[in-house]
Amino acid sequence: MTHPRILVLGTGGTIAGAGASATAAAYQPGGLALETMLANLAALGLAADLAGQEVARIGSQDIGWPEWQALHAACTGALADPAITGVIITHGTDTAEETGFLLDLTLPAGKPIVLVGAMRPADAVGADGMRNFANAVRVVSDPAAAGRGVLLVMGDAVLAARDARKAATSSIDAFKSFPRGAIARVTPAGLDWFGPAHRVGESARFNWPQSLPRVAILTAGAGMDEQPVKALLGIGCKGVVLAGMGQGNAPACVLGALANAAASGVPVVRSTRVDEGIVDRNVEVDDDALGLVAARALGPAKARMLLMVLIANGITDAAQVQAAFDGEKV
C-alpha cells in the first residue's frame, strides 16, 4: 500500500527546541534542524512519506511577513501538486494562532494543512512534540480532514485555526478553542471527528496580499486616557484593534479618540481582553454612531490578522469590515 506523502514545513518553535539538559528550564526554540527532527520521527515508524522543507528555525515570537509569505507559497504549491496529500507546519505555539488564521483566510479549504507544536522542548523529559507530530500525521492522512480549513493539532485534540488560541503559558494542554470546541480527538491509535467537514470546495476567502499594513492592538485598562490612541496614529497605524474590557468597552475618552481615528479612515475593531466571548455591535458602545466595528467571536490576535488582510485588500469601509467580521464575503 502506498503511504500518503506529506510536505513538512519547519519553522522552529519548542517542537524543535533544544535545552541544556532534559530537565533544564532554559532552551532554544528552533535549536533542532528539521532534518534532525525528521530523522528522529523516522524511528516512530509512521505510515507516511515525509518530505521536509525548512522555512525558518526561529521562536514564533519572531515570525512575520517573510516566513508567512514562504509558508503561503509552499502550501499553494502543495495544494496544486497531486502527489501531495497534505501539509504539516511545525510551529512555535506563541503565534500559532496568528499563522494558522492567516493561512486559513487566504488558502482554499482543500487538502489538510495542519499546524503542530509542542510545549516542551524536543529533548526535555516528557516531551510532547513527537506525539503531537504523530497525531498530525494521522490527521493529514485521513481523507475526512479535507474541507475543514487550516487545523491545529495539540494535546490530542484537533482545533480549527479559526477558533484556536493559546490559553496557558506552559501546560501541555495549552490551547483552547472558541466558539467551537475541539473538532476531533486524536491519539496515535485513533481519530474521531465530531462532525462532517463543512467547508468542502470553499475557495480562499481573501487574496494573498503584497504586504501587510501596520495594525496595532491596544489593550484597555482602568483609568487610562486617550494618549495611547494618538500615539498609535502618530506612528502610522493603518488600523487599530481594541482589546477592550468586557464586551469591548473602554473609557469614554478612549472611545472618542478611536471614533476620531475611524472618521479619519483608520478602521477600528473592538475585541475583548477577556479570555473568551462574543463582542456584539451596539451593546454598551454605540458602534453605529462612532463608526466602530465589533469583532464578534474573534479575540484580539485573530482580529488583528483579519483587519490586516482586509486593509491590504483595500477594504477599510466600516460596514464592509464589519461584514467580514460577521463572516460574510465582501
Q: Which CB sits closer to ligand ASP, 124 or 233?
A: 124
Closest contact distance (angstroms) between CB of 315 and ligand ASP is 30
Per DSSP, the residues of 78-137 read HHH-TT--EEEEE--STTHHHHHHHHHHHS-S-S-EEEE--SS-TTSTT--HHHHHHHHH
Annotated active-site residue in 11, 14, 90, 106: 14
H/E run at residue 176: strand 175-177
Among 94, 123, 163, 287, binds ligand ASP (CB under 6 A): 94
Mask for 23-62, x = binds ligand ASP (CB under 6 A): ------x-----------------------------xxx-
Closest-approach residue to ligand ASP (CB): 92
Closest contact distance (angstroms) between CB of 230 and ligand ASP is 32
Within residues 73-92, the interface with ligand ASP by CB under 6 A covers: 92
Q: Which CB sits closer to ligand ASP, 170 or 211?
A: 170
Number of neighbours of residue 230 by Cβ within 10 angstroms: 12
Contact 33, 57 (CB under 8 A): yes
Q: Is 117 in the site for ligand ASP (CB under 6 A)?
A: yes
Q: Which CB sits closer to ligand ASP, 93 or 249?
A: 93
Q: Is 11 annotated as catalytic?
A: no
Closest contact distance (angstroms) between CB of 181 and ligand ASP is 21
Mask for 119-148, x = binds ligand ASP (CB under 6 A): x-----------------------------
What is the Cα–Cα distance from 23 to 126, expressed in whole angstroms?
A: 10
Residue 226: which of 196, 251, 206, 192 has the closest Cα? 251
Taking phi over 0 as left and psi of -120 to 50 as alpha, with beta for the rest, 45 belongs to left
Interior/surface letters 152-168, b for 16+ CB within 10 angstroms, e for the rest = bbbbbbbbbbbbbbbee
Closest contact distance (angstroms) between CB of 169 and ligand ASP is 9
Q: Which CB sits closer to ligand ASP, 90 or 249?
A: 90
Q: Which CB sits closer to ligand ASP, 99 or 322?
A: 99
Q: Which CB sits closer to ligand ASP, 124 or 220?
A: 124
Q: Is 99 in the site for ligand ASP (CB under 6 A)?
A: no
Q: Is 93 in the site for ligand ASP (CB under 6 A)?
A: yes
What is the Cα–Cα distance from 126 to 121, expressed in whole angstroms?
A: 9
- Residue 161 corresponds to which cell in the numbers above? 485555526
Mask for 290-309, x = binds ligand ASP (CB under 6 A): --------------------
Among 8, 14, 72, 163, binds ligand ASP (CB under 6 A): 14
**Omega into 179 within 30° of 0, i.e. cis?**
yes
Query: Which residues lie closer than 8 Å to 279 by C-beta, 6 or more apart?
Result: 244, 247, 248, 270, 271, 272, 294, 295, 296
Report which DSSP code applies to 277. Answer: -
Query: In angstroms, how far is CA 213 from the centroid of its own chain?
Result: 18
Q: Give me the active site residues, please.
A: 14
Provide the binding-site residues for ligand ASP, judged by CB under 6 A: 13-14, 29, 59-61, 92-94, 117, 119
